Amino acid sequence: MKKTIWINRLVDHLIWIVLTLTIVVVALTIDGFFQFNNLSNVLLHGTVLGLLSIAAAMALIGGEMDLSLGVNMGFVGYLVAWISLGKGDVGSGWNLNPILAGLIGVGVGVGIGWVNGSLVTRLKMNSFLVTLGTLIVLGGLTYVINQARTLNGINPVLLVLGGEKTFGVPNSVILTAFAFGIAVIISRFTSGGRRLYAVGSNAVAARAAGIDPGAVKRRMFMVAGGVAGVAGLLIIGELGSAPANVGQGVIFEVFAATVIGGVSLTGGRGSYFDVLGGVLLLSMIANALNLTAIDPFWVEPIRGFIILFAVFLDSQRESLRMWLLKHATSTNQSGSEAA
Amino acid sequence: MKSFTKKVSLLAVASLLALGLNSTSAQGAGVVIGMSSPSLADAGQQVIAAGVKTWVEKQGWTLIAKNANGVAKDQATQIEALIEQKVSAIIMVPADAAAICAPIAKAGEAGIPIFAIDRLPDGCAVAATVLADNYLAGQDSAKAMVKLLTKKYGSAKGIVLEIQGDMSSITAQDRGNGFDDVIKKYKKITLIKKPTKWTEAEFSKATRDVASAKNVDGIYMHSDCVGSVVVTTALKSINKLFKRGNAKHIFLAGVDGCAATMKVFRDGYFDATSSQALPDFGSVTNLVKIVLDGGKITEGAFSATGSSGPIAGKIKNSAAGPTLALKTIPVTPENVDNTALWGNA
């Protein structure tokens, strides 16, 4: 019985085994990987990816998809930088207080989530198509705000979250760790978290149990949008500037991290703790490839192959569980017979 | 009879005048040039557009300027409108290198020569193109890097990170090849190349990862417009940002020389860039004149008097037609305040 519990735990959190093995291989083969500064870089890589993966996992667990998270982040980051800049810095000329600008930005992120959620739940539109539309609209709007010009000279207050450190640890790493902690607590220990799993797993059964799936999903989209907005504040701090194209294309890596972390694309299943494992794995791969001397043209294909391999391992999760359980049972039986 | 002869003479003079006005000869105010910019929001494009205006006026021609605001479809519509207006020639910076081929074909059907500046059309040919000599720009930045490394170590050695652009683009290939061809002569310089898609986020990550794990001596970025701010921010985040003159300073070199780079230069962190001669891309008017006069643009050296002195380049034939690659201007802390540089405009 104890053995079965351990096998289930092991398979459920398979990503951590894959991550540990990868760390060992990378540390043994790549010079300079295991330095404090470099490990800090791995975590830094994982901040924006991590926040967006929390948001994407939330939507997937709730049985929906949000493709707009990356451009939501880029839009918010650009907007916040623009409204807090003076005219001379090719900004809006509004010179808005940076903290107020940041709060407006997160509010806009939540608003984008509300629009997505309302279209999906009230008008019964498909979330894949709705958020694909939002992705295109927001990507275009980011260019419209200031005609695609990169914004430099950002107010230093706005760089604190993404670009400064506390006791040697990047603030963005602390914030992302905190966000993962909160996500784990809410998903495991609050009724709101459990409702999201119930709705994502079977909306009809959830409704029968007195849960309003529409309301749960709208809140879910709004929280996801807000988290993407916070990621927007991190990215401008990390770069020290606000490029108009910053969130485009990010969503593919976000989904890869989320799925590698074991979140089901069909809803109702997944753990934020394991999503963290997926985020760390992809961040480490990106970092390791930057440290290797391989031909630059091979970087992207190799990265793709590694992600495919990780997804393959994830897809074999249930087969592995069955094999391990069968093996454990047969060992127990032969043990009993021998006794 | 006298009256009849007078009438015939007047008619002949009028016909000759009319013919003169309608001719495509590049003489005087009769020549009207249409110009289409991809987006005047971009500081570089503003400089290019102002330069074209100056060069057109220098020829004594009239300019009709249009701005596509970054929309390739609008640029196509604007070029069609210029064709309808029967301009003598069209100069444009393609908003989209491939999408521009349809309007180029329409101009060809109407018998109006069309010229590109700054970017080559992709998949079709124009009468001529004027752009920066990106290969030379890469070479100049490499020479500056070698000089800095030699000054630091007594000989050319060290580790240099090359942050590439999108290597599927000719611009990135030329900037990379120019740099690499110089650096590979120095066996003790280790070159680490990291490809990007010209995005700030990738420039930042490549800098952080490589510079924190290796003792990088210098960084060459294919575009300092993309990289100067984010690379210095990334170096700061790993405690490796030091001013020129500090023993721990990492040499920074690039190509472009836009305003953001000039600021980083003045702040004491940048070492060398190859500034494009954007104000003199308008020298395309010299090529327009050749074509309107019925001449042929031939391969060879090119020289002219530019906005702030002599300019030079080479004309070569390519799949996109004759291409004039103008020499870039090497920028160092010594000449960073030169007002002729487009980044200081």
Which pLDDT score, from 0 to 100, does residue A118 have? 97
Residue B23 lies in a domain: no
Domain tally for chain B? 2
Supply the DSSP symbol for A151.
B
The H or E element spanning position B16 is helix B2-22
Residues B303 and B265 in one domain: no
B142-146, B164-168, B318-322, range with the lowest pLDDT: B164-168
Residue in A323, A278, A115 with CA at minimum distance from that of residue A107: A115
B260 shares its domain with B142: yes
CA distances for A285 relative to B100, B146, B172, B216, angstroms: 39, 32, 25, 21
- Determine if residue B157 is left, alpha or beta; phi over 0 gives left, psi from -120 to 50 gives alpha, anything else beta: beta
Of A31-35, A247-251, B28-32, B300-304, the range with the lowest mean pLDDT is B28-32
Give the pLDDT score at B166.
85
Q: How far apart are CA B228 and CA A36, in angstroms?
A: 26
Residues of A in contact with B214 (CB under 8 A): 32, 291
Please check whether residue A146 touches B, CB under 8 A. yes
Res A262: pLDDT: 87
Q: Which of B218, B241, B275 is the last residue of a domain?
A: B275
Q: How far apart are CA A251 and CA A57, in angstroms?
A: 12
* pLDDT tens, residue by residue, B114-131: 999 988 898 899 999 999
Higher pLDDT, B20 or B245: B245
For the cut 50, the answer to whether the pLDDT of residue B19 exceeds it is no
| B69 at A interface, C-beta within 8 A | yes
Closest-CA distance of chain A to residue B192, Å: 7
| Same-domain pairing of B139 and B264 | yes
Report the pLDDT value the prediction gives residue B5, as an integer from 0 to 100. Answer: 53
pLDDT score at B27: 61
d(CA B115, CA B96) in angstroms, rounded, equals: 15
pLDDT for A290 equals: 86
- Name the residue of chain A whose CA is nearest to B227's CA: A239
Q: B140 and B262 share a domain? A: yes
The angle at the Cα of B197, spanning B210 to A253, to the nearest 5 degrees, equals 80
The answer to whether position B17 is within a domain reads no
pLDDT at B1: 46
Instruction: Name the residue with higher pLDDT: B11 or B152.
Output: B152
CB pairs < 8 Å spanning A and B? 98
Is B295 domain-assigned? yes
Residue B164 contacts A, CB cutoff 8 Å: yes
Confidence at residue A334, expressed as pLDDT on a 0 to 100 scale: 64
Residues B294 and B234 reside in one and the same domain: no
Taking CA atoms, A330 is separated from A249, A319, A333, B41, in Å, by: 48, 16, 5, 72
Residues B144 and B225 in one domain: yes
pLDDT greater than 50 at residue B337: yes
Which strands make up the sheet holding B329-331, listed edge to edge? B189-194, B158-163, B218-221, B251-256, B272-275, B329-331
- Residues in chain A where the model's pLDDT stays below 50: 339
- Nearest by CB to residue B212, choosing from A41, A240, A245, is A41
In sequence order, what E strands does chain A have?
A: 165-166, 169-170
Residue A310 vs residues A17, A51, A262, A277: alpha-carbon distances, Å: 11, 21, 10, 12
Residue ranges of domains in chain A, CATH in brackets: 2-301+325-332 (1.10.3470)
Provide the mean pLDDT of chain B: 89
Max Cα distance, chain A (Å): 85
B345 versus A66: the higher-pLDDT residue is A66
Percent of chain B scoring above 70 in pLDDT: 91
Closest CA to A66 of A134, A19, A18, A125: A134
From chain A, the residues in CB contact with B230 under 8 A are 239-241
Complex ipTM, two decimals? 0.82
Contact in structure between B73 and B66 (CB atoms under 8 Å):
no
Lowest-pLDDT choice from B71-80, B262-271, B322-331: B71-80
Please tell me whether residues B161 and B266 are part of one structural domain. yes
Domain enclosing residue B166, as ranges: 134-275
Name the 3-class secondary structure at B39.
coil
